[in-house]
Amino acid sequence: MDRRLFLRNGGLTGLALSTLSLSACSTEAKQDENSEASPTDTPDAFELNEVTIGELQNKMSSGQLTARAITELYLKRIEAIDQKGPRLQAVIEVNPDALALADALDKERKAGKVRGPLHGIPVLIKDNIDSGDKMQTTAGALALAGHKAAQDAFIVKKLREAGAVLLGKTNLSEWANFRSTRSTSGWSSRGGQTKNAYILDRTPSGSSSGSGVAVSANLCAVAIGTETDGSVVSPASCSGIVGIKPTVGLLSRTGIIPISATQDTAGPMARTVRDAAILLGALAGVDPADAVTQESAGKAQPDYTRFLDDNGLKGKRIGVEKGHLKGESDAVPLFQQAVALLKAQGATIVEVDVEKQTDSLGEAEYNVLLYEFKDGVNKYLAGANAPVKTLQDVIAFNARNKAKAMPFFQQEILEASQKLDDLASPKYQAFLRKSHNGARQALDGVLSQNKLDAIVAITNSPSPCIDLVNGDTWKGPGFSSPAAMAGYPHITVPMGLAHGLPVGLSFVGPAYAEASLLTLAYAYEQASKQRTAPTFRAPLVG
């Protein structure tokens, strides 16, 4: 069960209503009233289009560009197509200190100090991740507007230590899409609606909507999202990029507005597997304030790029989710082609059925998240500088400010969470055992019994329409939940386009198998070359 299904079917400041279709997709293509340029089917000529981290490093080391020049180019890009033009609304806030950070890193480079592959590289982070600077951390919620964290999240400290330029924060599905059963992915009361960069009235998915769109539309070099169930891999799939949901425990969650202590993790989002691997290595590390990261000691790799191999599929045994090999979804033919390519690259293909064992765990997972959300949010707000101090305060704020905070969908999930007991509840413990242990047993069993290196599946189907009246209405396969419930790693790589909309191929493995999954994902990426830059197309017309 995909997270988007349990939210929907069992993943107003700044909002211009005239720019959106309020129920289903537009029936005619017309220019956004607030746009300053028409959507186009022709790739634009942005100087840094599709540039990689390695290419940016070469430009800086040769003196062709500086970190400041690169940062300026991305800031202009954000202004041109995120705030104007097609108005993607992927970036909720730019960092007023970005150029100063770039200048300082240029001085270090000039003095002979280069911290590593991220030195001088502009990175965007999701707006539920603390930064101890002038930017806000709000999870897209008006209830948290004005909140500025006292210090960096642990992974943001790691980013700064690696020499990255913190470019800004990205919009998201409000409260990481854990507010309503009828929510619309990519919409927040603070940031408005993020658009899919491929076809503008299609959903970017969520909850890391802005991070996915920003990377795909070349608003940054790489970005960071967060996932509980599908919130990195689904928007990555819909934005035609690489997304990594690491093993829970590989990356610290300290300083990240939570949903679930057992499923939450941050994760890299990039246009290439190599760039995602670079970012993953920079973020990984044991955090004394996040006990689960102790499990990663000796397992995290400082450099995941050393596992990238063009021939990495040769001799591997790959489990293929057999239910995804048939059906009416336009993603199915792409999956069939991907499986044929895996085989052609030397992999042995074994059909498996993981979903048969995990689909029944969805209700238990949802209840786990309800219990853990209340506990986690109350702890986060108690130590924050936010105007609200508890989940009950958030609910009350939204009720008082309904016209702006809840103009479309409500807050049933927040209210349901608030009514529950604490984590000592026997009901919570039973739900956790069922979802977490059940998913691990299913994945471990399939992997070991078939002697598999990984399981592959369709990440999700092509993006449906943005629908603020009815909420998300996904159809077709998706594969985020098994790895999410188990806390296991999941990587998605572009698999192709269906009607101009991207679809991703998922690679899932056991705990701390990021290195081996990256080997497989990179080999597939290099053999398939399915990444296609978006062209900001107007709505499809019959």
Whole-angstrom distance, CA of residue 25 vs CA of residue 8: 18
State the Cα angle at 329 between 26 and 310, rounded to 5°: 110
Q: Catalytic residue among 231, 296, 461, 463, which?
A: 231
| Region for residue 484 given its phi and psi (left: phi exceeds 0; alpha: psi -120 to 50; beta: otherwise) | alpha
Using CA atoms, how far apart are residues 377 and 457, in angstroms rounded to an integer?
A: 33
The alpha helices in 220-354, defined as continuous H runs, are: 233-238, 273-283, 331-344
* Residues near 91 by beta carbon (within 8 Å), at least 6 away in sequence: 78, 82, 83, 124, 168, 169, 170, 171, 210, 214, 219
Q: Which two tokens stand for residue 241?
A: 């990029």
* DSSP code of residue 229: S
Rounded to whole angstroms, the Cα distance separating 59 from 402 reads 49
Dist CA 52 CA 56 (whole Å): 6
CA-based nearest residue to 92, from 128, 55, 56: 128
Catalytic-residue membership of 169? no
Q: Calculate Rg over the CA atoms of the chain.
A: 21
Question: In 383-492, where does DSSP find H-type helix?
Answer: 391-400, 402-405, 412-418, 426-432, 438-449, 481-486
Return d(Cα 109, Cα 274) in angstroms, integer: 23
Whether residue 231 lies in the annotated active site: yes
Q: Which amino acid is present at 252?
A: S
196: Cα separation from own chain's centroid:
14
Catalytic residue among 126, 158, 374, 434: 126
Catalytic pick among 183, 185, 207, 516: 207
**Strand-pair partners of 465:** 202
Q: Is 528 noted as a catalytic residue in this protein? A: no
Give the pairing of strands 122-126 and 222-227: parallel
> Tell me, what DSSP letter sits at residue 328?
S
Phi, psi of 379, rounded to the nearest 5 degrees: -65, -40
Q: Is 357 exposed, middle or buried (0-12, 13-18, 19+ CB in 10 A)?
A: middle
For β-strands 222-227 and 265-270, DSSP reports them as antiparallel
DSSP character string of 119-179: TT-EEEEETTB--SSSS---TT-GGGTT---SS--HHHHHHHHTT-EEEEEE--SHHHH-S
- Whether 317 and 453 have beta carbons less than 8 Å apart is answered as yes
* Cα end-to-end span (Å), the chain: 32
**How far out from the chain centre does Cα 542 lie?**
31
* 432 class by beta-carbon count within 10 Å (0-12 exposed, 13-18 middle, 19+ buried): buried
Rounded Cα distance between 264 and 259, Å, is: 7
By annotation, the residues acting in catalysis are: 126, 207, 231
